[in-house]
């Protein structure tokens, strides 16, 4: 039941969004065994992001929310794979990407009309 929000300073084409969504789906399937069928992705592109009080020309924030928990190793793998994905598709460096994790107790997440836990 993952939810990913991608916030970027650059505008994204529909093709770039589709490739990022596919990349997120593959990452979460491989690293955390989360099926694509329940993945929700939100894109907020062309946003102003202040880094150290200055508007960044190139920067992205990826928020990864999951029902349940991820191990430290899983989180590191997701970070590494997200860095590779943004480097390949958008030419971002690791210094231009924040990845933030939120683990939600299953009793605080609902799907198809019912709580997960």
| pLDDT tens digit sequence for 20-53 | 999 999 999 999 999 999 999 999 999 999 999 9
Residue 44 is part of a domain; what is its CATH number? 3.30.429.10
For residues 1 and 87, give the distance between their C-alpha atoms in angstroms, rounded to a whole number.
26
Q: How far apart are CA 61 and CA 82, in angstroms?
A: 10
Q: Which pTM value belongs to this model? A: 0.94
Please give, one letter per residue, the 3-state secondary structure of 8-26.
Answer: ECCCCCHHHHHHHHHHHHH
Q: What is the pLDDT of residue 4?
A: 98
For 32, the domain range is 3-115
Number of domains in the chain: 1
Percent of the chain residues past pLDDT 90, beyond the cut: 94
For residues 61 and 73, what is the distance between their CA atoms, to the nearest angstrom?
20
Average pLDDT over residues 52-58: 96
């Amino acid at each position: 039941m993952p939810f990913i929000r991608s916030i970027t300073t650059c505008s994204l084409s529909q093709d770039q969004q589709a490739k990022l969504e596919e990349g997120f789906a593959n990452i979460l399937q491989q690293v955390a065994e989360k099926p694509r069928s329940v993945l929700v992705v939100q894109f907020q592109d062309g946003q102003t992001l202040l880094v150290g009080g200055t508007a960044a020309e190139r920067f992205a924030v990826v928020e990864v929310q999951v029902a349940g928990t991820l191990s430290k190793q899983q989180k590191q793998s997701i970070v590494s794979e997200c860095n590779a994905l943004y480097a390949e598709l958008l030419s971002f460096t690791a210094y231009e990407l924040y990845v933030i994790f939120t683990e939600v107790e299953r009793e605080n997440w609902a799907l198809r009309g019912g709580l997960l836990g």
